[in-house]
Amino acid sequence: MNSKTFRRAGGIALGLVSGLVSTAALAQIRIGIDLATTGPAAAIGAPSKNAILLWPKEIAGQKVETIILDDASDTSNAVRNLHKLVDEEKVDIVVGPNTTPNALAMLQPLAESGTPMVALAASAAIVEPQDAKRAWAFKMPQNDSHMATILTQHMADNGVKTVAFIGFADAYGEGWWREFSKLAEVRKLKIVAAERYNRNDASVTGQVLKIMAAHPDAVLIAGSATPAVLPQKTLVERGYKGRIYQTHGIATLEFLKVGGKDVEGTYFPTGPAVVAKQLPDSNPVKRVALDFTRRYEAAYGEGTVTQFAADAWGAWMLIANAVPVALKSAKPGTPEFRKALRDAIEGTKDLTVPQGVINMSPKDHVGLDQRSRVMGKIQGGKFNYAYGG
């Protein structure tokens, strides 16, 4: 073989090796993560990130790479991150964001790119009504309707007759108002005041004075993370003595720290994982919830599990359950795989995650039922099991 032939053969061999390396790289599953690890929603995003850092590095024999970006609790940043993940990083699936406005802003570009998303934000508006863009969106947190059902039942069972509402002036607050007002009517609870506030407001004194003038038996605060503390602190400072309820969006350690004694006695609906150790043994989610709790606390300390950490672990379980099905029809890194992964997630049946049992369908991209929530109570500066499940 002359030198020219040798160079040609060597070039072909190198090309084949390069092609094999490229193919191997494509076979790696890439998961793009958008979280709010700074900004007003950081108390939600931080435990989500902690859970994601515990994810295994392989699914069904395929290596998994995660690319984590911070949206700083800002919608524009979230959309920018999404384009980076989809257009530049060529991810197979997106997990996050943590907040409803950011998730809603992502729906159109996700559908246009044909990339599935498992949101860690709560509002049902992310997945309902199912249409062309929402066909690519799934979410881990329970719908507000799940949580409002057990919350209003607790109110009715404990003698509450009149209720005031104060919630975020955004999709989260509106979603809760829609579900709560509907169920309050069913439970014969009279809503005597309804107020709104912004996540970054420094004062809600005006709203609280209107609420107190209505003399409600209980107040529901529809906020999340540390911004949900402000109305409660103001109510306590103004001498309100009735029951105070919050939503599942408060289950962060920062809420407890910022709220301090002012949030003692608060009732709130929550996923089973937040109070896993105290669940009755009959609870169908307890074993999986406890397994996650032990993993998470081994890494981050006793009493560190939150709603949002459990949701992020559930997202991993959902994806890991779907990947083997998707691999039967396509390889990672391709549009065909993204579509197959979307279809496999939509076909999820009887998957127990730390927050419930998932049964997806083309019309239901959450898949949770009454097994996904219990009532909790803040006592001794901790989240405790109170009722249900």
- For the ranges 1-5, 209-213, 257-261, the lowest mean pLDDT is seen at 1-5
Location of structure tokens 């009735």: 242
Running DSSP on this structure, what letter comes out for residue 199?
A: T
Lowest mean pLDDT, pick from 7-11, 56-60, 61-65: 7-11
Query: What distance in Å separates the CA atoms of residue 79 and residue 71, rounded to the nearest whole number?
Result: 8
What pLDDT sits at residue 148? 96
Residue 190 CA to residue 356 CA, distance in Å, equals 31
Q: Over 70: is that where the pLDDT of 19 sits? A: no
In angstroms and rounded to an integer, the radius of gyration of the C-alpha atoms of the chain is 23
Mean model confidence pLDDT for the chain = 92
DSSP 8-state symbol, 39? S
Residue 9: pLDDT above 70?
no
Per-residue pLDDT, averaged over 204-219, amounts to: 98
Give the mean model confidence (pLDDT) for residues 154-163. Answer: 97
Tell me which CATH homologous superfamily contains domain 144-270: Response regulator (3.40.50.2300)
For range 60-88, the mean pLDDT: 97
Q: For residue 160, what is the enclosing H or E element?
A: none
Give the range among 2-6, 80-84, 282-286 with minimum mean pLDDT.
2-6
pLDDT tens figures, 305-336: 999 999 999 999 999 999 999 999 999 999 99
pLDDT digits (tens, 9 = 90+) for 178-203: 999 999 999 999 999 999 999 999 99
Q: What is the pLDDT of residue 207?
A: 98
* Nearest CA among 39, 36, 41, 45 for reference residue 306: 45
Reading the block at residue 310, the tokens are 């459990």
Would you state the pLDDT for residue 123?
87
CATH class of 10-142+294-372: alpha beta
pLDDT of 379 strictly over 70: yes
Q: What is the pLDDT of residue 389?
A: 61
User: What is the DSSP pairing of strand 351-353 with strand 374-379?
Assistant: unpaired
What pLDDT, on the 0 to 100 scale, is given for residue 13?
Answer: 40
- pLDDT score at 122: 86
pLDDT of residue 27: 67
Is the pLDDT at 6 greater than 50? The verdict is: no
Task: Convert the pLDDT of each residue in 227-275 to its tens digit.
Answer: 999 999 999 999 999 999 999 999 889 999 999 999 999 999 999 999 9
pLDDT digits (tens, 9 = 90+) for 262-271: 999 999 999 9
Q: Identify which has the larger pLDDT, 178 or 26.
A: 178
Q: Tell me the whole-structure pTM to 2 decimals.
A: 0.85
Token couple for 188:
């014969």
- 97, two tokens: 């964001």
In the chain, ranges of CATH 3.40.50.2300 domains: 10-142+294-372, 144-270
Q: Is the separation of the CB atoms in 373 and 271 below 8 Å? A: yes
Sign of CA dihedral 225, 54, 339, 86: positive
pLDDT surpassing 80 at residue 10: no
